[in-house]
Amino acid sequence: MKSYLNSIKKQFEYYKMLGEKTFNQVTEEKLFWQINSESNSIAAISKHLSGNMLSRWTNFLTSDGEKEWRNRDAEFENNIHSKDELIKQWNKGWNCLFEAIQSLTDNDLEKEIYIRNMGHTVIEAINRQLAHYSYHVGQIVFLGKVINGENWKSLSVPKGKSKEYNKEKFSKPKRKKHFTDDL
């Protein structure tokens, strides 16, 4: 199970990195841009992720993941005014997540915890959050691509470069590594 905890930490780090690489490609002004009134900006999605992380990962093993103090609806209000403020909020959530994961032991993984009074094993709760965060980080990356258009720098294998990418990967011997170790 130690390999699970190490792997999951690397997966969360990967999605954090994708979000941050998107922030770095988008102008400060465009972090707050919305496609339409029903959509969310990169800033709003980031704020929601942070709010979710703070709620889910604070006292992770001992209290319900939906905290009484959380105001989920307010997470979608555009009241962040700068990139620095956005990054600070983003990091607050991720730091809470990583501190919680770092404190977990193999014995914790089968414990039952609750999110909105629904029981989950710790593994199920972690997997639920990984899926939720990757969903929203994908939205952030997509918005970055829409905003930057032709100026977007790929965060994975660039279009038309799959053969070159695979050639480089297959030129190395088989090995046991997490895919993010080469990033």
Q: Which contacts of 1-9 are long-range, i.e. CB under 8 A and separated by 24 or more positions?
A: 1/106, 1/109, 2/106, 4/109, 4/123, 5/101, 5/104, 5/106, 5/109, 6/178, 7/178, 8/101, 8/126, 8/130, 9/98, 9/101, 9/102
* Residue partners of 84: CB distance under 8 A and separation at least 6: none
Q: Which of these, 142, 61, 70, 150, lies nearest to 103 by C-alpha position?
A: 61
Q: What is the pLDDT of residue 1?
A: 63
Q: What is the pLDDT of residue 32?
A: 96
pLDDT digit string (tens) for the chain, length 183 residues = 678 999 999 999 999 999 999 999 999 999 999 999 999 999 999 999 999 999 999 999 999 999 999 999 999 998 999 999 999 999 999 999 999 999 999 999 999 999 999 999 999 999 999 999 999 999 999 999 999 999 999 999 988 999 999 999 999 999 888 888 877
* Residue partners of 64: CB distance under 8 A and separation at least 6: 114, 115, 116, 117
What angle (nearest 5°) sits at the alpha carbon of residue 27, between those of residues 25 and 31?
95
Q: What is the pLDDT of residue 179?
A: 85
Q: Which domains does the chain have, with CATH numbers?
A: 2-153 (1.20.120.450)
Q: Which pTM was predicted?
A: 0.94
* Residue partners of 29: CB distance under 8 A and separation at least 6: none
User: Burial code of 23-35, b = ≥16 C-beta within 10 A, e = fewer?
Assistant: bebbeeebbbeee
CA distances from 178 to 55, 59, 129, 183 (A): 28, 28, 20, 10
CB 81 within 8 A of CB 128: no
Q: What is the pLDDT of residue 78?
A: 85
Alpha-carbon distance of 70 to 44, in angstroms, equals: 15
